Chain A
């Protein structure tokens, strides 16, 4: 094997990501999963793919358009990559729609759930649909004529629109009708039988579209959807007011370059050519879809169908018992493992701090949070109670920028000191610091997490939250806040390691120690759990460790650019990916350390961006009880043979072979904590 050709030793990150999304699709295909959950997986798949286009494909296209023709770090030329990506995405999209047509709709029908076409409606339903159109849709929709005096309207990324061709006398005219985004896409229809019947809003619009053009002959019509480049191009180095800059950049998004155009299969070529010209998109690259553009409406549908028997068996996250969160933290460090355990202690920490008379200050990073977040409410309350509240809001959190700007302004208005990050860096670490004056001294309480302060995702993502009142931790975290807020330069930290300073180097040194340990004692070992592994420095170091004989087990849920099991390169490395009910999100790193294991938690993946362009934290767990617990959890994950896939030396993912007693780690963990 030519080891110096990156293409031979790395899997391209974009191709690996497509592999991941394929595993998501496999979950939708898996008949063992409840039907509404399969709908959700389809919606996740579709949404993931949209975002992939908006961020990654747009980037590759930009390189091609600029005439850039050099290999990337994985050994790929932009055009070759684009070709492979589009072949894969076309095939995956086809698989998605095949699944819908051949399996999902039939399985839904078996459960008396139907998404009807307009022509399938019974008279009662037809009457309802027409009335819905007249009363709800018609008043809020405005067709837009497109001619020399009327420019083509701005079509938002991911929105649906109709292209319409009219004949006025003998003259052809064009118009566009944008499908409204402020009404539910799925309309529930009346049904006399014991059935659940739905119809898509655009289906109702399509069949009543003549209503908008009375007196004109409607020649052609079809539904289309654009996906636009969503990368923000804020030159942060020179932007003093990052908030305004990001805000302005978001406003430019509706006009950003179109990356993909999806249309209904039977669309008229002439009208389509017209649309392509108007939005500046190559006709030959148009994706034609048979019925229902944009399957993300399955999210809505899975929530609307009131049949819990068609969902995963519900469970109540286990709670930790305590009277006062501060007393609990003083008793000793503890972790909560989401979503198996309740998120409540995290919310309690901020809530209690907001009203506790002894609390002087609260500091927090917020990367993504949910609407009506109790944490945000508590921060506002704290500011009202004259606490010093500092919130570091990462307004550059992708696809959450607009939401983040909104609640960041709310926080500011309530008196919180809101900071918007560091130019060129994303604050990805999840940290909270509460400073409290107690009888004899100042005490500080710290919460660190692998996941976001988001009450919604806390029930869907697996994450570890770490609670501590340890002074060394407190001082380090206090310092991190001072650095991020521009109050100080970093100093020497005792308990944390941070990017972009020395996180990558620290990992490399830890791996080096295992190589040494392997050479001296024959027991080098690494066990890591991550979302993505893409940084070539780390990959090369892992290859080096493998060659030295270090046994490396990696649980990488998403992108994995490392090729395991290759003789002479990575034969001591095994990679597994778990895609299941919950999104695996926790990052855990274990070294054997000459049989005295060291365990770390982190907010960072092993990706270049996490090491170089983000503020991320890694911290070691010293408490033996917590260490034992995390070891047990990691071992359980490794034993999973229900949701685990194994990455082969050929770069393919294969399902693990089930043993006589199959292990589904996530389901086992629900049982373990309850």
Chain B
């Protein structure tokens, strides 16, 4: 049965309808219409009502097409990327679209975009590319931005989005007003500068390969350097080849580039900038390649839907998040021992208490991530570091976590010390009621587990939680170290736990 994906991008809206044919995706229909959502969102901060109406008109046409193939609404995914993600009025946009077309838009974060690309790549290459062994970068070059995800042995280390989408680059080149050479030099500087943020993140990580999804330029690179194709829709280039490409493009104007290499004139002005993006990626890899997949994001999502690919089916989702959390600790210069220790204790407490505190298994990831990252604000300043932790966490990007979930983590981390949640606190007050309660419960746990490692010396050797008949909790700590500071801290934090849960918690220190 065919399925469909509608991709609301920064410069165009696409519909891909496809079905499985053998072990491949057969795209039956691929529709594309230009709507300048990015122009509106990037430069005015909001999407204009006119652009929203244009979107609605196109989506109605796409619904006709879905009707033609008798595709049920449950078999359709509507995704949106950078433009909607960055638009100040995205809720208005989504509401308009939903009311007028009955289509529910799912705004993809960078992590989710990279998940789809990776799953497509993994599915496409299967055994040929050892995703679970390598450290690599996955990127999607859209018109709005370059979404990047860094992976290590199958787990995401970090996600980020650089504002160097093709539309943005074209607009930058257009407004520079210098000579051709000056414009190109300036654009290269601009791209290098954006990449410097990526490079700062990567630092000591050795990148084996780069996987880039790009539907505009990939096949055209071959026109310039006559190499690189390694199968249908897939291109593979070395650093040397990209250097050669830049050399060939450098002294030509757009008309010459278009004529000499059969590049459509409308993208001839940005292909050198594209080459600079590739060059920057190449500078991150030593021996490996840059792999470019010539498909659209909508097709990658479609493949995922049709084959029901679960990239992490054998791996633990929690491990994925922990991997990201550990990378963030590294990035912000935290010793990993304390957060890891607190996370271990929090995990044990959560499992033992969840049933009594009305917590769901799925909530565990919040306490674990908050445990890993509660001290991250120290990077800014030691004083009030819990507040710094809150806003840093709010803006990090974790694979598969919604904005609201990240807010929960940020709040739990914030309330690991000092003031408890209050409605006057902006982030906390923006959460719905059930999430607020969750923040109370989880921060109460984190306060205790953090207290048990108050000296950051990981003195707890063994840790057990015993539930008494009257639903109070005894924490059995096995240690041979001086534990009086930890005990004193614990005594300060237990009241809040009692206040929130209605259960008492006591500490029993035993020789390790």
Q: How far, in angstroms, from A360 to B67 measured CA to CA in the complex?
A: 9
Question: Which B13-64 residues have C-beta < 8 A from chain A?
Answer: 15, 19-21, 26-34, 61-62, 64
Taking a contact as CB atoms under 8 Å apart, the answer to whether A361 and B68 are in contact is yes
**Which of A106-114, A474-482, A580-588 contacts its partner?**
A474-482
Taking a contact as CB atoms under 8 Å apart, the answer to whether A489 and B28 are in contact is no
Known A488-B33, A489-B33, A489-B34: A442·B68 in contact at CB below 8 Å: no
Interface band, chain A: 20 to 34
Chain A: which residue is nearest B31 at the CB level? A488
CB distance from A491 to the nearest CB of B (A): 6
Chain A: which residue is nearest B21 at the CB level? A441
For the complex, is B487 an interface residue (Cβ under 8 Å from A)?
no
Taking a contact as CB atoms under 8 Å apart, the answer to whether B69 and A475 are in contact is no
Residue of B19, B29, B32 contacting most chain A CB atoms (<10 Å): B29
For the complex, is B65 an interface residue (Cβ under 8 Å from A)?
yes
Chain A residues positioned under 8 Å from B19 (CB to CB): 441-442
Question: Which B449-475 residues have C-beta < 8 A from chain A?
Answer: none
Taking a contact as CB atoms under 8 Å apart, the answer to whether A475 and B27 are in contact is yes
Known A488-B33, A489-B33, A489-B34: A360·B28 in contact at CB below 8 Å: no
Chain B residues positioned under 8 Å from A437 (CB to CB): 70
Taking a contact as CB atoms under 8 Å apart, the answer to whether B30 and A475 are in contact is yes
- A478 partner, pick from B12, B29, B32, B70, beta carbons under 8 A: B29
Question: Which A503-524 residues have C-beta < 8 A from chain B?
Answer: none
For the complex, is A444 an interface residue (Cβ under 8 Å from B)?
yes
Chain B residues positioned under 8 Å from A444 (CB to CB): 28
For the complex, is A499 an interface residue (Cβ under 8 Å from B)?
no
For the complex, is A487 an interface residue (Cβ under 8 Å from B)?
yes
For the complex, is B339 an interface residue (Cβ under 8 Å from A)?
no
Taking a contact as CB atoms under 8 Å apart, the answer to whether B67 and A388 are in contact is yes
- B26 partner, pick from A388, A441, A492, beta carbons under 8 A: A441
CB distance from A479 to the nearest CB of B (A): 7
Chain A residues positioned under 8 Å from B28 (CB to CB): 442, 444, 474-475, 478
For the complex, is A435 an interface residue (Cβ under 8 Å from B)?
yes
For the complex, is A628 an interface residue (Cβ under 8 Å from B)?
no
Chain B residues positioned under 8 Å from A441 (CB to CB): 19-21, 26
Taking a contact as CB atoms under 8 Å apart, the answer to whether B32 and A488 are in contact is yes
CB distance from A459 to the nearest CB of B (A): 34
Q: How far, in angstroms, from A489 to B67 measured CA to CA in the complex?
A: 20
Residue of A444, A475, A487 contacting most chain B CB atoms (<10 Å): A487
Taking a contact as CB atoms under 8 Å apart, the answer to whether B68 and A491 are in contact is no
For the complex, is B2 an interface residue (Cβ under 8 Å from A)?
yes
For the complex, is A471 an interface residue (Cβ under 8 Å from B)?
yes
CB distance from B492 to the nearest CB of A (A): 65
CB distance from A451 to the nearest CB of B (A): 28
A-B contact count (CB 8 A): 51
Chain A residues positioned under 8 Å from B21 (CB to CB): 441, 471
Chain A residues positioned under 8 Å from B64 (CB to CB): 487
CB distance from A473 to the nearest CB of B (A): 13
Taking a contact as CB atoms under 8 Å apart, the answer to whether B32 and A491 are in contact is yes
Taking a contact as CB atoms under 8 Å apart, the answer to whether B26 and A435 are in contact is no
Q: How far, in angstroms, from A487 to B29 measured CA to CA in the complex?
A: 11
Q: How far, in angstroms, from A437 to B12 measured CA to CA in the complex?
A: 30
Chain B residues positioned under 8 Å from A489 (CB to CB): 12, 32-34
CB distance from B62 to the nearest CB of A (A): 8
Chain A: which residue is nearest B294 at the CB level? A492
Taking a contact as CB atoms under 8 Å apart, the answer to whether B32 and A360 are in contact is no
Taking a contact as CB atoms under 8 Å apart, the answer to whether A482 and B29 are in contact is yes
Chain B residues positioned under 8 Å from A474 (CB to CB): 28
Taking a contact as CB atoms under 8 Å apart, the answer to whether A487 and B68 are in contact is no
Bitwise, A404-439 to B at CB < 8 A (1) or not (0) is: 000000000000000000000000000000010100
CB distance from A647 to the nearest CB of B (A): 34
Chain B: which residue is nearest A390 at the CB level? B68
Chain B residues positioned under 8 Å from A478 (CB to CB): 28-29
Taking a contact as CB atoms under 8 Å apart, the answer to whether B32 and A442 are in contact is no
Taking a contact as CB atoms under 8 Å apart, the answer to whether B69 and A487 are in contact is no
Question: Which A374-420 residues have C-beta < 8 A from chain B?
Answer: 388
Chain B: which residue is nearest A474 at the CB level? B28
Chain B residues positioned under 8 Å from A487 (CB to CB): 31, 33, 61-62, 64-65
Known A442-B19, A487-B61: A360·B31 in contact at CB below 8 Å: no
Q: How far, in angstroms, from A478 to B26 measured CA to CA in the complex?
A: 14
Chain B residues positioned under 8 Å from A491 (CB to CB): 30, 32
Taking a contact as CB atoms under 8 Å apart, the answer to whether B70 and A482 are in contact is no
Q: How far, in angstroms, from A442 to B31 measured CA to CA in the complex?
A: 17
- B69 partner, pick from A442, A486, A488, beta carbons under 8 A: A442
Q: How far, in angstroms, from A482 to B65 measured CA to CA in the complex?
A: 9
Taking a contact as CB atoms under 8 Å apart, the answer to whether B30 and A442 are in contact is no
Known A441-B21, A442-B28: A360·B70 in contact at CB below 8 Å: yes
Chain B: which residue is nearest A482 at the CB level? B31
Taking a contact as CB atoms under 8 Å apart, the answer to whether A388 and B68 are in contact is yes
Q: How far, in angstroms, from A486 to B65 measured CA to CA in the complex?
A: 12
Chain A: which residue is nearest B262 at the CB level? A509
Chain A: which residue is nearest B27 at the CB level? A475
CB distance from A509 to the nearest CB of B (A): 9
Q: How far, in angstroms, from A360 to B71 measured CA to CA in the complex?
A: 11
Chain A residues positioned under 8 Å from B2 (CB to CB): 442
Chain A residues positioned under 8 Å from B30 (CB to CB): 475, 479, 488, 491
Chain B residues positioned under 8 Å from A475 (CB to CB): 27-30
Chain B residues positioned under 8 Å from A360 (CB to CB): 68-70
Bitwise, A447-471 to B at CB < 8 A (1) or not (0) is: 0000000000000000000000001
Q: How far, in angstroms, from A64 to B27 measured CA to CA in the complex?
A: 55
Chain B residues positioned under 8 Å from A488 (CB to CB): 15, 30-33
Q: How far, in angstroms, from A442 to B27 measured CA to CA in the complex?
A: 10
CB distance from A507 to the nearest CB of B (A): 15
Q: How far, in angstroms, from A487 to B59 measured CA to CA in the complex?
A: 10
Chain A: which residue is nearest B29 at the CB level? A478
Chain A residues positioned under 8 Å from B67 (CB to CB): 388
Q: How far, in angstroms, from A486 to B33 measured CA to CA in the complex?
A: 9
Question: Which B354-402 residues have C-beta < 8 A from chain A?
Answer: none
Residue of A361, A488, A492 contacting most chain B CB atoms (<10 Å): A488
Chain A residues positioned under 8 Å from B70 (CB to CB): 360, 437
Q: How far, in angstroms, from A479 to B14 measured CA to CA in the complex?
A: 13
Chain B residues positioned under 8 Å from A471 (CB to CB): 21, 26
Chain A: which residue is nearest B67 at the CB level? A388
Question: Which B183-215 residues have C-beta < 8 A from chain A?
Answer: none
CB distance from B224 to the nearest CB of A (A): 17
CB distance from B292 to the nearest CB of A (A): 15
Chain A: which residue is nearest B296 at the CB level? A491
Chain B residues positioned under 8 Å from A492 (CB to CB): 219
Q: How far, in angstroms, from A537 to B512 measured CA to CA in the complex?
A: 92
Chain A residues positioned under 8 Å from B12 (CB to CB): 489
Q: How far, in angstroms, from A145 to B70 measured CA to CA in the complex?
A: 64
Q: How far, in angstroms, from A478 to B27 measured CA to CA in the complex?
A: 11
Q: How far, in angstroms, from A491 to B219 measured CA to CA in the complex?
A: 14
Q: How far, in angstroms, from A419 to B12 measured CA to CA in the complex?
A: 24
Q: How far, in angstroms, from A475 to B16 measured CA to CA in the complex?
A: 12
Chain A: which residue is nearest B62 at the CB level? A487
CB distance from B449 to the nearest CB of A (A): 55
Q: How far, in angstroms, from A442 to B71 measured CA to CA in the complex?
A: 12
Q: How far, in angstroms, from A460 to B68 measured CA to CA in the complex?
A: 36
Chain B: which residue is nearest A486 at the CB level? B61
CB distance from B325 to the nearest CB of A (A): 41
CB distance from A534 to the nearest CB of B (A): 26
Chain B: which residue is nearest A485 at the CB level? B61
Chain A: which residue is nearest B14 at the CB level? A488
Bitwise, A486-503 to B at CB < 8 A (1) or not (0) is: 111101100000000000
Give 14 pairs: A residue, B residue, CB < 8 Å, sorted on A. A360-B69, A388-B67, A441-B19, A441-B21, A442-B19, A475-B30, A482-B65, A486-B61, A487-B33, A488-B32, A489-B32, A489-B34, A491-B30, A492-B219
| Known A488-B31, A488-B33; further 4 A-B contacts with Cβ < 8 A | A441-B20, A441-B21, A479-B29, A489-B33
B interface list, Cβ under 8 A from A: 2, 12, 15, 19-21, 26-34, 61-62, 64-65, 67-70, 219
Pairs A-B, 10 closest by C-beta atoms: A488-B31, A388-B68, A489-B32, A361-B68, A487-B61, A488-B32, A482-B31, A442-B28, A487-B31, A441-B19
